[in-house]
Amino acid sequence: MQLQGFVSTDTPGAGRLKQALWYCTNAVVFDSWLCPFYGPKRFLLRLFGARVGTGVVIKPRVNIKRPWRLDIGAHSWIGEAVWIDNLTSVTVGANCCISQGAYLCTGNHDWSDPGFSLRVEPIVVGSHAWIGAGARIGPGVSMGEGTVAMLGSVVSSDTLPWHIYAGNPAVTRRRRALRTASRIGLGEVERA
């Protein structure tokens, strides 16, 4: 059986000049150690069409495919070597942490299609979520508010709010409990 040519449902969402300018900006400012400052990175992301909240921290060596399809809520943190492979929209809520080396992937090939077409689906990360170092978030995943994807987890389906997930594929381990504001520092935990 002879395979047909590669077919893609991916559309860049920007003209070639904008894509080329972003490619250079991403390589020099984001996916490098040359600019350790957060303010200029937030400014550049907004300039290229991203919606970026106040106080967002973007560490060095972050690779963002298409900023015009990115929304990051206030006071979220994007760690070193994070790759946001956003062929379609990626929404990160407020007060999130995406740890070092995490990979958010919005596209996958249809292995049942002889043309191996590309399918893209958005990713939504709820506010107060934490994606652990080296974790992988797959196309179409909606992570609930307060969800934790532990170190190296592979999340390929939606998660429940305020739960902790681990493994490949990631499964729920337990409910996430937070210390209450009045008890912080006392070592007591509010039980869910």
Q: Which residues contact 31 (CB under 8 A, 6 or more apart)?
A: 61, 62, 63
User: What parts of the chain have a pLDDT lower than 70?
Assistant: 1-10, 181-192
Q: What is the pLDDT of residue 180?
A: 73
Q: Which CATH architecture has domain 16-183?
A: 3 Solenoid (2.160)
CA–CA gap between residue 55 and residue 7 (Å, rounded): 40
Place of tokens 């990626």: 90
Task: Determine contact, residues 148/129, Cβ cutoff 8 Å.
Answer: yes
Q: What is the pLDDT of residue 8?
A: 52
Domain map of the chain by residue range?
A: 16-183
Q: What is the pLDDT of residue 3?
A: 38
Q: What is the pLDDT of residue 2?
A: 38
Dihedral sign (CA 11, 16, 21, 26): positive
Q: What is the pLDDT of residue 9?
A: 58
Exposed, middle or buried by CB within 10 Å (0-12, 13-18, 19+), for 20? exposed
Q: What is the pLDDT of residue 7?
A: 42
